[in-house]
Structure 1
Amino acid sequence: MALIAAALALSPAIAHAAEVGFLNTLGGDWGGDGSVRIRTTMPSMPVKCRFSSTATESSMSLAGQCTSLAIFSRPLSATVKTNGKLYTGTYLGSKTGPATLRGTRSGNALNLEIRWARNVNGDRSAQLRIEKIGGDRMRLTTIDTNPQTGKIVITSQIDLRRL
């Protein structure tokens, strides 16, 4: 019985340690390509991106830029903190200004709700998924709803490799 009580008492510390290990894997310089839609009703355009990320025991900061020919160039950034269960932070990717992030981790991915500063695609909510793929790859995906059709649309998907 004492062993079970000790194991239960340690489980939050073990869970927090796992989160720390996960965040640390996201640090470094990243580059890659993908696609971006400015609006859910518009076609996607190819982009090339570069990011630099720093990670600590309880936070991660990712900043960089994506460019599509001469049509589109935008700085993007995300900062995320965790208390071991909940992730919160800020995302800057829309011209509406900084958006708040809130969500959880599932396996090798952070699933974060975006709350835009102003309406984007008819409302103020979307999703951001930061997914670690193996030891040297990461995928950033934003998902929103098309206000005209109600269908879910991937508004950006960027596949990155560690540089």
Structure 2
Amino acid sequence: MKRSAAAATLSLFACAFLASPAQAKDKDAQFFQTVEGQWVGPGEIVAGKYKGTKFVCTLDGSTPAEKAGMTLDGSCRVGIFNQPMKATIVRAGNSYKGSFLDGSAGKGLDITGGNVSGNRVVLAISRKQLNGAMQAKFNDDNTMNVTISVRLDEALIPVVGMTLKRVDGTAVGSIAEN
């Protein structure tokens, strides 16, 4: 039970690499390109029933050739258990749509919107009656902090935090801070 709950919570962070069309297409494309490559990092569930559960993720980021978007594919490890992780997001009209694993109709999540601003992205996430937000912020070209929060009444409560480090030699352009 602990493994599946931790995996479900971890699924929220995979959405960190999605953007909104409200920003200029070039800015979104630049943000997506910045997350291309290999990423590794630790994280922790910081609230709720599984508070204190630690995990480590290894992810490969890529961008589609024809549409703005991102795919992350890899796994997260909790103790001796390894959970596949895959998130795909693409521009759909005036918005971005995406899913983690098999979306909210299965065991995953839906991405329902978001906004890229400088060195960060904030996304709306949904699974059945659970709504929340994910924020990913680049501290520099090779370090990204991810926070996932769930909505409880009118407040957003942080649930998962992690830091990913780039582990390949992918050269990226700097992201402007806001």
Alignment-derived partner of residue 63 in structure 1: 73
Overall identity of the aligned pairs, in %: 22
For these two proteins, the number of residue pairs brought into alignment is 142
Aligned mate of 1:131, from 137, 143, 163: 137
Alignment-derived partner of residue 109 in structure 1: 120
Alignment-derived partner of residue 161 in structure 1: 165
Unaligned regions of 5+ residues in structure 1, if any? 1-11
Post-superposition CA distance 1:75-116 (Å, at most 9, x none): 333222236963321124999523211212122222111111
Q: Which letter maps to 2:48?
A: T
Unaligned regions of 5+ residues in structure 2, if any? 1-20, 168-178
Indicate conservation of the 8 Å contact 1:75/1:93, yes or no.
Answer: no
Alignment-derived partner of residue 8 in structure 1: none
- Classify the secondary structure of the residue corresponding to 1:42: coil
Indicate conservation of the 8 Å contact 1:90/1:100, yes or no.
Answer: yes
Q: Distance in 2 between matches of 1:58 and 1:138?
A: 20
Q: CA deviation at 1:151?
A: 5.5
* Greater share of strand: 1
Indicate conservation of the 8 Å contact 2:89/2:97, yes or no.
Answer: yes
Q: Distance in 2 between matches of 1:85 and 1:40?
A: 35
Aligned mate of 1:26, from 35, 41, 57: 35
- Classify the secondary structure of the residue corresponding to 2:141: coil
Q: CA deviation at 1:131?
A: 2.6
Q: Which structure's CA Rg is the greater one?
A: 1
Q: CA deviation at 1:15?
A: 2.0
Q: Which letter maps to 2:53?
A: M
- Classify the secondary structure of the residue corresponding to 1:111: strand
Distance 1:140 1:74, change over 3 A: farther
TM-score, normalised to structure 2's length? Answer: 0.65
Alignment-derived partner of residue 47 in structure 1: 55
Indicate conservation of the 8 Å contact 1:136/1:161, yes or no.
Answer: yes
Q: Which letter maps to 1:134?
A: D
